[in-house]
Chain A
Amino acid sequence: MVKTVFVRIAVVCLMIAGIAPRVFAADTVTLSLSGNSESFNLVAGNASNSGSSNITATTTWSLLPPCTASVYAYFASASTALTDGAGHNIPSSAFDISDNGGASAALTNTIVFGGANAGLQLENLNVGPANKNSSVTDAMTFNINLSGLPQLPAGTYTGSLFMQSQGACNGNNNITNSGAQTIAVTATLPESLTISLSSHAVTFSLKAGSATNAGSTSITASSAWVMKPSRTAVGLYAYFSSAPAALTDGFGDNIPSSAFFISNNGGASTALTTTVAFGAASAGLRLANVAITSANENSSRTDAMAFNINLSGGTLPQLPAGTYTGTLNIQAQATP
């Protein structure tokens, strides 16, 4: 009888001993990052805007198989993954991660964490007896693709990219999540306004007293801009630094800016007699004034300028023979 009781007790103890690990040994999943911030210098409309550094996520687990171990990257919102705080956003679909040298993939999936369509699963590993206590690393490179956001205004866009791992065991009955690790993302799209010219020199063969002395070539000014939302206009100007002496022979004989004409994009030939944002008073011409809206915050334009010097007015018919030189400047300004 005592022997029977002892055997029964022994069996129960063995059963308890066998079950205990399943009940009391806690599954653990942790995730750590090699860095917690990522910055981007954006180029408007560019598909390739790489992050400043790579970040490695290391996920370590201790799980009771059979399990799966997954690693996720996600934003809290698909539409406002990064934002300038003024209603302009970079969605998660424009944020790409290349994991361990693989193809770049946008965060467009709905995963177990984060916003709908705002995530990407980096790992989905089977965990068995051989790797029940193991780890995985995910070396991530980042890219922001602005090719679908060509009108994103200049600004600083910030957001939080979250990294989180999950162990799922026992047919998903036992779920163990790591803590969410945050990568602070800062993407800067600088404001810019540039002009380039197709050429930087024009010559004129003048005819005394003639109203028509065309330049040797037309010049095209290509203006491009990336504006902050607050800008309302881009002006393009041609100007001289002196109205009475736009061109001079260096001996006191001058061609005034009022005798210098520009026909812009085939329009009427117009003298440089206006006071504009740059240059001397009454020595300029506004070639263009582009109203900036949300549709052209990042845009460009071309101005094909044809030149003429009119020597028929005032005392210019008596302009002496000589070589007259001057510098015409082309410059743009965004306001306010």
Chain B
Amino acid sequence: MKILPGILTLLLLSSASLAIDTEEAFEDPEMQARYEKILDEVRCLKCQNQTIKDSNAFLAGDLRREIRRMISDGMTDEQIFDFLVDRYGEFALYRPRASGKTLILWLAPALLLIGGAFVLLQIVRRRMALPIDDDPAAEG
């Protein structure tokens, strides 16, 4: 049984060596939390189905470095997202912000829901208008 702690330690070490972002953490835990949260929100343009937190493309590394610098410089999250959108467009953000171009993305769910409710209402109304002439006894 003595081997178990050794195996566990090795497992823990292996996951650490697999981390993509090898930079040192911020001293301020709040800054580190902001940093990680932003990384989760930004698409790696080189490998478009990964966030820059998950990607080992060098562009993702460059963007991590820039975001790290901007946080250190005291920029707000909003300013950092602006920086990215100015250069790479809304597509760089996994959650595009509501603006003229992306409005359809934000409104589509509500529009579909309203459309569905309208269709449902039509069907229910039509059925309610039908005469109740079914004979329950005849069913089956």
Is B one of A's binding partners?
no
Q: Chain A: residues with CB nearer than 8 A to chain B? A: none
